[in-house]
Amino acid sequence: MKKESVCLISLGCPKNQVDSEVMLGLLVKRGYTISPNPAQADIILINTCSFITEATQEALETVLEAVDLKRVGSCRRVVVTGCLAQRYGAELAGELPEVDLFLGTDQFPRIVDFLESSLDQDRRVYTGRTSFLYDHTVPRILSGPSYHAYIKIAEGCSRSCSFCIVPSLRGSFRSRPIASIHEEARLLAAQGVKEIDLVAQDTTAYGEDLRDGTTLAGLLESLCSLEGLAWIRLLYAFPDRIDSALLSRILESDKICKYIDLPLQHVSDGILRAMGRPGSRRSLEALIARIREEIPGVCLRTTLMVGFPGETEADFSELADWVEKTRFERLGVFQFSPEEGTRAATMKGQVSEPVKRRRFENLMELQQRISLEHNRSLVGKTVPVLVEGRLGDSGILRGRMATQAPEIDGQVLITRGTASPGEILEVRITKALPYDLEGEIPSGNDPGGRLA
């Protein structure tokens, strides 16, 4: 019997994308066909995020769109997986009888079994203790470009940040063995992947739970031995576990991008304590100075939160002054979201939405100026760029430097020269924009001349 077609819609972060790609692999292995168009699929499968209110709203809107398609007969089943199902599945099952299944964060590996079993309409929600950890033996189909992949090196989180719901959704932190990650990376490289980005809720905690000497530096050493991989990037690196062994490994390898993503959240000592974050302004400044000293030319990215309960104008001014002084190459800003089930949601001193928005806009305006100044320093220099394709319908190529992570950072627009997606080549930077750059492939490496 011919299997049904499935359209999988993946929402949220790269860690969710990995889960979605595992589900794609499991479905294809069992004979299902994958449709890119939800209006033409028999089953609409939505892998959701529910980290903050905005993500929850986006997930709910996407589910309602799928339900509408089911009502008009375009699909036969709607399945919701991931964090939204884990967090609100029981509640939503009563409100959305059209959704056939809600599978939590630990149930998605059984997606095929659920689809092929006879289910009781009264039991449509399956959430349980989150303990699943995928490995290299699990089939996976990349949903992004063929030259890039994320590898999830661990699952869950054992921290207790007062604003975060992740530990209750994903369980405690659990690391994959180095051998499994190495084999997955080897298989990806054999498929043509040139860049891998290592992700977890807390990448610098990698290996601590195994208690066998496994470290992030050791993992990087193992991955650097693989042929075919050109770039290895480290994301979500908590500051309190960055040590000399890790910094030395990043410095010594040409394959490891000189790029560290540090989710710092704030700099005010009082706000950091209320957030449940490790460290202080003094320790964070010392770490940043140390990283920049030990890895010359390193690109530092951070994420900051404004409007946390109790954040005063003085706290925000301290944060803005610190951003001005520290001059991060990359920086993202979030407005605090009071998430149900977190300590921060019920804290005193909740900041009004207009104040949050003003602080967000002020900080982003400041960082835009800093980013432009960083980019201007690159004009006239020649840098390696990973070509990703064309910019819309224009003839302009787009790509990224090793100091630009996919999806979250800027890009390089190549206004002269030709290349194929996945190629890494030298580009001379000719113009700086606030977040993007423009450049040209030097004539000696330009077989095609100026692009149309």
pLDDT given at position 445: 61
pLDDT given at position 452: 29
Mean pLDDT, the chain, rounded, equals 93
Q: Could you please report the per-residue DSSP string of 42-79?
A: SEEEEEE--SSHHHHHHHHHHHHHHHHHHHTTS-SEEE
pLDDT given at position 446: 52
451 pLDDT above the threshold of 50:
no
Residue 399: closest CA among 420, 380, 379: 420
CB atoms within 10 A of CB 355: 15
Between β-strands 77-82 and 33-34, what pairing exists: parallel, antiparallel or unpaired? unpaired
The C-alpha atoms of residue 387 and residue 192 are separated, in whole angstroms, by 14
51 pLDDT above the threshold of 50:
yes
Q: Facing residues of 303 across strands? A: 332
pLDDT given at position 387: 96
Per-residue pLDDT of 193-213, as tens digits, reads: 999 999 999 999 999 999 999
Average pLDDT, integer, range 291-313: 97
Q: Facing residues of 332 across strands? A: 303
Please count the CA atoms within 13 angstroms of the CA of 185 that sit on its side-chain side.
31
Average pLDDT, integer, range 95-116: 90
187: confidence class by pLDDT, cuts 50, 70, 90:
very high
Q: Which residues have C-beta within 8 Å of that of residue 344, sequence separation ≥ 6?
A: 162, 163, 274, 275, 308, 309, 336, 338
Query: Of the ranges 96-100, 246-250, 291-295, which one carries the lowest mean pLDDT score?
Result: 96-100
What letters, b where the CB count within 10 A reaches 16 and e where it falls short, cover 293-306? eebeebbbbbbbbb
444: confidence class by pLDDT, cuts 50, 70, 90:
low
The C-alpha atoms of residue 191 and residue 196 are separated, in whole angstroms, by 12
449: confidence class by pLDDT, cuts 50, 70, 90:
very low
What are the E-state strand segments in 142-255?
148-152, 154-155, 174-175, 195-199, 231-234
Per-residue pLDDT of 360-412, as tens digits, reads: 999 999 999 999 999 999 999 999 999 999 888 778 899 999 999 999 999 99
CB–CB of 360/329 below 8 Å? no
